[in-house]
Amino acid sequence: MNNILRKRKPDFTNLQKVLECKKPDRPTLFELFMNDSLYEVLTGRKRPDREDELEHLKFVVDAFEAAGYDYTTTHGSKFMFIEGQEKHKETISLNAREVIFDEKSFDEFKWEDPENHDYSKLEKIRDYLPHGMKLAVMGPGGVLENVISLTGYDNLCYMLYDDPELLKQVFDNVGKRLVKYYEIAAQYDSVGLIISNDDWGFNTQTFLPPWAMREYVYPWHKKIVDTAHRYNKPVILHSCGYYLETMEDLICHLKYDGKHSFEDNILKVEDSYDRWKGRIGILGGMDVNFVIESSVDEVKRRSHKMIEKSLESGGYALGTGNSVPEYIPIEKYLAMISAIHDVY
C-alpha cells in the first residue's frame, strides 16, 4: 500500500478552489465517507469504540489523512429525528418507519431539539487535526429524506394532495431543525465545509414532481446554504438519484457550491462535468458499480482520464459516485485514488 499512497500534507484550500470552480494546486480527492475496515487498513490500527466520539473521530481523521484527503467528514452531533435511524445497514422500504400520518400523530410526535445535543467534539478535535485539514460536517439525513422517514413515501404522496397543510408543517419542522443543526456546526473554527446530504430521486425521476420540490424541499435547502455562507463555509449537496432537472435550481437559486453523487445509469460524471463545469464543483463520480465490476487497471485508467480532463479547467475532485462501502475491494479503491499521483 505504501507504494500506492504517497504522503501528502492536507491543504483544505485545494478543496475550496474546487468548490469555487477553480484549478486546485494539485489533484484533489473527495469522498462522503468510507468504512471501518478501510479505515483500519489506512491507519494500521483497530477502530475504537464508537461511543467515544472524540477517539473515533481521531481514528477517521488519521484515515482520511493517510489516504490524501484535505478534510475529514463527520456528523456534528448525535442529533437525529427518529431514534436509531442511522443504525440500519441493509436496504429497507421507504415506508418502513412512518410515524406521522395525520394531525393526531403529528401532534403526538416528540421532536428532538438539535440545541440539546453535544457538538463539543468539533472543538476538542481542533488541536488534533493535521495542519491544513478541516472538518466537513454532514447531517443526520436531509430535508426530504427525513420527511420520507417520518411519513413514509406512499403516505407522503397522498398527503401532497390530500393534506398539503399538514405536509408543510412536517417539512417546516424538519427543515428548521436541520438549519439550526448546521448553524451550530458552522460556528466552529475546525469546520471548513458543510455537506447537506439528502437523496432526491429514483433513477429516472425525483421523488416529488418539480413543483413540489420547489414548494416544500428547496426553501429549506436555500436556508441551509444561506446559513453556511453566512459563516463563510462552502456547501456541498450530496444527493443520490435523478438530478438532471434539478441542476439549474441547485446552481442558480439554491447556490450550492458543489454536487456529489453521480451514477453512470443516470449521467456519467464525465458528461456532467462537460455540462456544468465552471458553474458548480463536480465531486466524485467513479460509479460504485463500475469500481466493483471493473479491473484494477480499468478503475485507475478511468480515474486518471477524469483527472486529466479536469486538469486545466479545475472544479473537480476525484472519488466514487457515492461512498466506499465494505463490498468495494480495497485494491479497487486504492487504484482509484492512486491516479492523483500520476499527474502530481
C-alpha cell at 53: 466520539
Write a three-state SS string for 260-310: ECCCCCCCCHHHHHHHHCCCCEEECCECHHHHHHCCHHHHHHHHHHHHHHH
- Sign of CA pseudo-dihedral 37, 326, 291, 319: negative
Mean pLDDT of 231-254: 97
Q: What angle do CA 288, 290, 294 make, to 5 degrees?
A: 130
Q: 149-200: per-residue pLDDT in tens?
A: 999 999 999 999 999 999 999 999 999 999 999 999 999 999 999 999 999 9
Q: What angle do CA 306, 311, 312 make, to 5 degrees?
A: 135
In angstroms, the CA 225 to CA 105 distance is 31
Closest-CA residue to 5 (of 37, 30, 41): 41
Give 5's pLDDT tier (boundaries 50, 70, 90): low
Q: What angle do CA 22, 235, 179 make, to 5 degrees?
A: 165
Q: 92-138: per-residue pLDDT in tens?
A: 567 766 899 999 999 999 999 999 999 999 999 999 999 999 999 99
Q: What's the confidence (pLDDT) of residue 7?
A: 77
Q: Domains (ranges, CATH) in the chain?
A: 12-84+96-343 (3.20.20.210)
Mean pLDDT of 226-230: 98
In angstroms, the CA 65 to CA 130 distance is 8
Sheet architecture: strand order including 71-75: 71-75, 134-138, 191-197, 235-238, 258-260, 281-283, 316-317
Q: Which amino acid is at 249?
A: D
Helix (H, G, I), strand (E, B) or coil at 223: helix
Mean pLDDT across the chain: 94
C-alpha cell at 326: 465494505
Closest-CA residue to 287 (of 274, 304, 303): 303
1 has pLDDT over 80: no
Closest-CA residue to 144 (of 60, 208, 203, 211): 208
Contact yes or no for 193/233 (Cβ under 8 A): yes
Diameter of the chain measured on Cα atoms: 61
C-alpha cell at 335: 487504484
In angstroms, the CA 176 to CA 181 distance is 9
